[in-house]
C-alpha cells in the first residue's frame, strides 16, 4: 500500500496533510467518536430527571 499523504503542520488547530505526488496542502475532517444523537438526548433527559451517571450508563448500555 502506497501512502501518498504526509503530516505537514497545523492550521487553525487542525492537523494538515500534504500530498507526496502534488504540492496540495489539505486538512482531513475528524469525525469524532460518532455518538448517536438519540443516546445524547436520552442521556441528557435522564440526567435532568435526576438519574446519576452510573444509572444512565447502565440504562443506555442495555439497549
The residue with greater pLDDT, 52 or 1, is 52
Q: What is the dihedral of CA 17, 6, 23, 4, to 10 degrees?
A: -120
What are the beta bridge partners of residue 15? 10
Q: What is the dihedral of CA 14, 24, 34, 44, to 10 degrees?
A: 40
Q: Could you tell me the pTM of the whole model?
A: 0.48
End-to-end CA distance of the chain: 39
The residue with greater pLDDT, 35 or 46, is 46
Q: What is the pLDDT of residue 2?
A: 64
Examine the pLDDT at 54 and tell me if it is beyond 70. Answer: yes
Confidence of residue 40 (pLDDT cuts 50, 70, 90): very high
DSSP per-residue letters across 23-39: --EEEPPP-TT---HHH
Per-residue pLDDT averaged across 26-31, rounded? 78
Amino acid at each position: 500500500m502506497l501512502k501518498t499523504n504526509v503530516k505537514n503542520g497545523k492550521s487553525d488547530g487542525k492537523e494538515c496533510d500534504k500530498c507526496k505526488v502534488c504540492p496540495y496542502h489539505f486538512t482531513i475532517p475528524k469525525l469524532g467518536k460518532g455518538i448517536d444523537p438519540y443516546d445524547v438526548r436520552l442521556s441528557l433527559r435522564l440526567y435532568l430527571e435526576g438519574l446519576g451517571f452510573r444509572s444512565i450508563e447502565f440504562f443506555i448500555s442495555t439497549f
